[in-house]
Amino acid sequence: MGEIKLMKGNEALAEAMIRAGCDAYFGYPITPQSEVLEYLSKDATQRTGMVVLQAESEVAAINMIYGAAGSGRRVMTTSSSPGISLMQEGLSYIASAELPCVLANVVRGGPGLGTIQPSQADYFQAVKGGGHGDYRLIVLAPSSVQEMVDFVRLSFDLAEKYRNPVMILADGAIGQMMEKVELFDQMPRKTEFPDWATTGKPKDKERRYITSLHIQPEKMEEINKHLQAKYKQIEDAEVRYEAFNLEDAEYILTGYGLGARICRKAMDILREKGYKVGLIRPITLFPFPKKVYESVAGKVKGILDVEMNAGQMVEDVKLSVCGKTRVEYYGRMGGMIPSPEEIVENFEKLFIKGEA
């Protein structure tokens, strides 16, 4: 049993970063995730020797990440929606150069400067690309403060295993709420670095260089094929999800992160009302858990996708069931959080009373 603490999501994430043996954090303040940089600024460097640097912008921060990740170190940055938008060019470079790193997006309502309230409106940006070119992030969606801790360590492992950037796609509520967490023990920082890292030309080996520029299209196509093969491998091996009450389910609620938490309550209410309702909660948004949706397609009467956006993940749910089951969406936008009662009401309206 690890140390138990009552912690805010953002602070738990920062504590997990220190304990995971992170070598460097580069970030820039933005609500609702500024606690991460504040927490690290207190004593992270004294505790493990890790670098903590407040960059002049998110653009600079992601490029510092590039440099430090290219040095073979465990590195992480965090931001919220507008800041993550600024990082997209850098992320594309990082994905192309196959540099492992972790970033967390504590999502707020948009578009534009939007609001500082919780939102899930950055699903497309996180899962479908965001920056230029054909690349993928591995995307993990925590729905509790405990997962803000657990997913940091998991993200570093996945990033290093696949040499790929990993995003923890949280939201303002998960970042700001306080919950009991169990922390893992302090892990040592790395003392050995991968062969590809630029740590100074080895005496008896070729020097290394990190680039995403391959001016010959034949070569660039090869790079793309290599990346796509890697993403396929990730899709085969790294799908994570939670499912509840699928055995007897006639209807499915589905959502991720905070949305899934609210759906659990809605599922309980609906079950009490006598409806046989199950829940699918994707944990990895890329790779998307297509197969679990395929397994219920054609068997259940309907799937209600609940999101704090205009309906983004619902597209992936629809692609997974491939027209075999009716898929509906309900959500709130711009920083508003749907209540379990609202979900119940809309479920009944759509599937039971047949109004739609």
Residues within the interface to other proteins (CB under 8 A) = 23-24, 26, 51, 53, 55-57, 59-61, 63-71, 73, 75, 89-90, 93, 97, 198-203, 207-213
Specify the residue, 215 or 356, whose C-beta has the smaller distance to other proteins.
215
Distance CA 253, CA 157 (A): 31
Specify the residue, 87 or 300, whose C-beta has the smaller distance to other proteins.
87
Q: Residue 202 phi/psi, 5° resolution?
A: -65, 150
What DSSP assignment string belongs to 146-176?
HHHHHHHHHHHHHHHHHT-EEEEEEEHHHHH
- Strand order of the β-sheet with 302-307 is 241-244, 277-282, 251-254, 302-307, 327-331
Distance CA 108, CA 345 (A): 26
Specify the residue, 199 or 245, whose C-beta has the smaller distance to other proteins.
199
Specify the residue, 202 or 323, whose C-beta has the smaller distance to other proteins.
202
CA nearest 58: which of 78, 32, 38? Answer: 78
Please say whether the beta carbons of 253 and 343 come within 8 A: yes
Distance from the Cα of residue 208 to its chain's centroid: 31
Specify the residue, 87 or 267, whose C-beta has the smaller distance to other proteins.
87
Please say whether the beta carbons of 100 and 143 come within 8 A: no
CA nearest 287: which of 228, 225, 335, 236? Answer: 236
Nearest distance in Å: CB 355, other proteins = 51
Nearest distance in Å: CB 129, other proteins = 17
Nearest distance in Å: CB 71, other proteins = 5
Distance CA 48, CA 22 (A): 9
Nearest distance in Å: CB 220, other proteins = 14
Nearest distance in Å: CB 199, other proteins = 7
R_g of the chain, CA atoms, integer Å? 21
Kind and range of the H or E run holding 330 = strand 327-331
Nearest distance in Å: CB 225, other proteins = 21
Specify the residue, 61 or 262, whose C-beta has the smaller distance to other proteins.
61
Specify the residue, 207 or 353, whose C-beta has the smaller distance to other proteins.
207
Distance CA 349, CA 345 (A): 6
Specify the residue, 28 or 275, whose C-beta has the smaller distance to other proteins.
28
Nearest distance in Å: CB 57, other proteins = 6
Nearest distance in Å: CB 213, other proteins = 6
Beta-bridged to residue 108, according to DSSP, are 118
Distance CA 31, CA 33 (A): 5
Nearest distance in Å: CB 70, other proteins = 5
Nearest distance in Å: CB 203, other proteins = 6
CA nearest 127: which of 119, 117, 118, 137? Answer: 137
Local structure of residue 108 (DSSP, 8 states):
B
Specify the residue, 205 or 353, whose C-beta has the smaller distance to other proteins.
205
Provide the token pair at 120: 């899930």
Specify the residue, 99 or 303, whose C-beta has the smaller distance to other proteins.
99
Please say whether the beta carbons of 137 and 126 come within 8 A: yes
